[in-house]
Structure 1
Amino acid sequence: MDKKTEEFYTRLRKELNSTSTWPSEYLYKFIVPTDIKKVEEVENAFDNMGAVIKTKQSKTGKYTSLSVNVMMESPEMVVEKYIDLSNIEGIISL
C-alpha cells in the first residue's frame, strides 16, 4: 500500500472514531465497470453480514454503482473491508 493510501486510511479511522459510536451502521459506495463478476465480488464481500445493497447502472451502462449499508463493529473493520475490496480491478471507492 502506498503512503498516500495509508495516510487516507489513517485519517478515515480517526474520523470514524470521533464521529460515531461503535458498532455502527456504515454506508459504503463503490463504482465498478459493469461486469456481473465484479458486481458479484462486491456483493459477496458483504455476504452474511446483513448488508442492504443497492445497485444502479450508469446511463451508458458502462459502470455500476453499489451502495452498501451494513453494521460494522469498528473503524478498523470498515478500513479492512475497503482494503479487501481494493483488489477488484477497476473499483472506485467513494
Structure 2
Amino acid sequence: MDSAQNPEEFYENLKIKLQDTAMWPTEYLYKFIVVTKESKVEIIQQVFDNMGAVIQTTKSKKGKYTSVSVNVRMKNPDAVIEKYKEIGEKVDGVISL
C-alpha cells in the first residue's frame, strides 16, 4: 500500500481494479511476507481455514522472512478485501503484495 494514500482509498481502488479484471467468483492469489515466526504463518493459515485454500510458504535465503502464498476461490472483490483487512489486523508487521 502506498504510504501517502489512506487505507480506505487504497481498498476502494483495489475493489475497482478487481471488478474490472475478473469474473466473480474466481481464484485469487494472496501474497504476504512476514518475519519468520511460526505463529504469524499459523494465523494466516487460520484466516483461510475451511475455505479450500492452497497455502505455500517459502523462507528467504537467510531465513529471516517467510513468503506466504494463498490461492483460494473468492466470491467477490469485497470478500478479497475483507481477508486483506483481517490479516492486517491479526498479523503484526505483515506486508501484503
TM more than 0.5? yes
User: Equivalent residue for 2:54?
Assistant: 52
Q: What does residue 22 of structure 1 align with?
A: 24
Runs of 4+ displaced beyond 2 Å: none
The equivalent of 1:89 in structure 2 is: 92
Structure 1: stretches of 5+ with no match in the other structure: none
Instruction: Please tell me the root mean square deviation across aligned C-alpha atoms, in Å.
Output: 0.8
Question: d(CA) in 2 for partners of 1:19 and 1:65?
Answer: 25
TM-score normalised by length of structure 2: 0.92
Alignment gaps of 5+ in structure 2: none
SS state of the match for residue 49, structure 1?
coil
Listed one character per residue, the Cα deviations across residues 22-75 of structure 1 (whole Å, up to 9, x for unaligned) are 101000000011000000000111000000011000011111000100000000
